[in-house]
Structure 1
Amino acid sequence: MSGKEWPDGPIVVGVEWNFSEHLVRTAAALAAAMGEHLICAFVDPASYLTEWAPANQRTALSLDPSINEEAEFPSAHLQRRLEDVLGEPGESWSFRVLNGDVSKALNRLARNTDAALLVVGAGRPGSVAWLDRVLEGSVPAALIRHQQRPVLVVPEGGVGGA
């Protein structure tokens, strides 16, 4: 931050369907220590914003998401799982469902909420997860390359990988 004070603003944590409880607890503890609101954000990659369509195909509705209605029930389930870890949403935390490319959606949310920090997991271990990262790209790497604010990448599991 080059001599500047740490910025005020919420902490945004990106959560997946099978989020790590360690990731969420780490982000919540950090938000509490900083006295900031925690925004838990799930990005539905099966939906998208048409703003990313080629310019000659955009319409007046280009900022309206193409909603994946099948994701409405699972996102409610995801919120219930977050409530099991964090308690009821309110002053300390909230839940948002976003659409589109994960890193772009998290960047947009961080910018729109003037977030002080973005928190994401380092990624699942294993060959299937590795293949996903190869095909779709690494969310933490994309955020670090394109984000103007700090990005905290939390390794999977607790101390010693437990």
Structure 2
Amino acid sequence: MSDRTSQQVIVVGVTPGQPDAVLTEAVGFAVAFRARLVLANVDASRFVVVENVDGTVTSLPFDADLHDFRPEPIDPGLQANAARILDPTGIEWEFSQLAGDPARSIGKLAQSLDARAIIVGTRERGIRKGILEFFNGSVAASLAHRQPRPVIVIPLSPAAPDEPLWHPDDLPGADR
């Protein structure tokens, strides 16, 4: 058995524009667990048609007018940002581009890799983000309740204990 197959894995959910904190915190967990990181970006506007043996997916957009059968491309900006943060650390990492429901896709990837844990970041605060999370669901909460491995949630914009989670200016009708 090679070192790579016996090495622990931590799956990290990444998105374009995400603060660097998720990856920098993931480095600490990778060191602590002597694990390699598998970064997972999920395109929720597409659905999986075929899951290939190498972990890549072939997907189609939900829009029936678009017929794009090419494999999911990796966002070059997202990959460059990951390289900027992770390469200097010496942590082994790779990228996985997924499609479909983010929690389900990340959970399936973690299951297939027998990952030690999953790391995700929180969403930004604000009523609009809260409404989006209400309708789409929290990826972290969904992962925590629907799969068997630990989910580590990195706070990206924590509120002070006495600060409201939503600012009154964000409430509907506040611009009147």
Equivalent in the alignment of 1:146: 146
Equivalent in the alignment of 1:132: 132
Cα deviation, residue 127, structure 1: 2.2
Whose radius of gyration is greater, 1 or 2?
2
Cα deviation, residue 66, structure 1: 1.5
* Matched residue SS, 1:85: helix
Superposed, 1:1-162 pairs within 5 Å as: 9-50=8-49, 64-66=58-60, 75-87=75-87, 92-156=92-156
Supply the AA of the counterpart residue of 2:12: V
Contact residue 60 and residue 69 of structure 2 kept, 8 A: no
Please tell me the root mean square deviation across aligned C-alpha atoms, in Å: 2.9
Contact residue 14 and residue 119 of structure 1 kept, 8 A: yes
* Matched residue SS, 1:118: strand
If each structure's helix is expressed as a fraction of its own residues, which one has the higher value? Answer: 1
TM-score by length of 2: 0.70
TM-score by length of 1: 0.75
Contact residue 59 and residue 69 of structure 2 kept, 8 A: no
5+ residue gaps, structure 1: 1-7, 52-62
Q: Aligned in 2, Cα 1:28/1:105: closer, same or farther, shift over 3 Å?
A: same
Q: Aligned in 2, Cα 1:154/1:66: closer, same or farther, shift over 3 Å?
A: same
5+ residue gaps, structure 2: 1-6, 51-56, 62-67, 161-176
